[in-house]
Amino acid sequence: MNRILPRLLIASIALLLAACASHKSESTTLFDLGPAAPRSATIDAPMSAVVVSEATGSAALESERMFYRLNYADAMQARAYANSRWSTNPLEMVTQRVKTRLAQTGVKVLQPTDSPTGVPILRVEVADFTHAFDSASQSRGQVIVRASLFRDHVLLDQQTFSRSTPAPSANASGGANALAASTDAVADDIAAWLARVNHTTR
C-alpha cells in the first residue's frame, strides 16, 4: 500500500505536466488587418469632413472569433478557428480601416460629439466578413458592407459594396491577409462612392 501511493502521486504529477505542456502548445494566435496598404490610385477628397459611425453587424461580428465557411461542403455553417482569433472584433477593425482610408484622401474624420451641425454622417453595416473556402485548397476573404450617407437625418444615398480576395494559404493566416485586402478595397470603394454622391439634402 505504501508503494502504491507514491506511484499514484508520480503518475498524477506526470499527467498534470502533460496537460500544461499541451495547453501551451495550443496557445492562441492573434491577427489583425495590419497597417493600411498604400493606395493603389489617387482619389480626391470626397468631402471636407465626415462623421464615421461605428460599424454595425451581426452578434457574431461583435466577437473576436475568426470564422470560415466550407462552401464546397456546407455553406450554411459558419465555423470558428480553434486557436486563432482577431485582436479586436471585425466591426471595430472595419470602422478603423474606413476612417484611415478616408483620412488618406484628405477628409477630416470627426467624432459625433466634435462635429458641427450639417456634417455628413457615414454609417456602415457589415453583412459578411468571412474566410470562405470554395474547395479544400482554394479560399478567399469575403467582405460585404452596406454604406449609408446622411445629412441632418436625411438619407442622401446608400450603396452595397462587396469584395473578394484570394487567400495566399488555406489557413487562418491566409484568411487574415485576404480579409485585410478585401477590407482595404471596400474602404476605397466607399471613398470613391462618396466623391460621386450629391452631398446636399433632397
Condensed to tens digits (0 to 9), the pLDDT of residues 15-53 reads 443 444 434 446 999 999 998 877 655 666 678 899 999
Alpha-carbon distances of 195 from 45, 107, 149, rounded to whole Å: 7, 11, 12
The predicted structure's pLDDT at residue 171: 96
Burial 84-99 (b: 16+ CB within 10 A, else e): bbbeebbbbbbbbbbb
The predicted structure's pLDDT at residue 44: 66
The predicted structure's pLDDT at residue 41: 58
Query: What is the 8-class DSSP label of residue 158?
Result: E
Q: Is the dihedral of CA 57, 59, 65, 67 positive or negative?
A: negative
Which tens digits make up the pLDDT trace of 187-200? Answer: 999 999 998 886 65
Distance CA 190, CA 186 (A): 6
The predicted structure's pLDDT at residue 200: 58
Beta bridge pairs of residue 124: 147
Its pTM stands at: 0.82
The predicted structure's pLDDT at residue 117: 74
- What is the mean pLDDT for each group of 10 consecutive residues in the chain (202 residues)? 47 41 66 82 74 96 97 93 97 97 91 80 97 96 97 94 98 97 95 82 48
The predicted structure's pLDDT at residue 17: 37
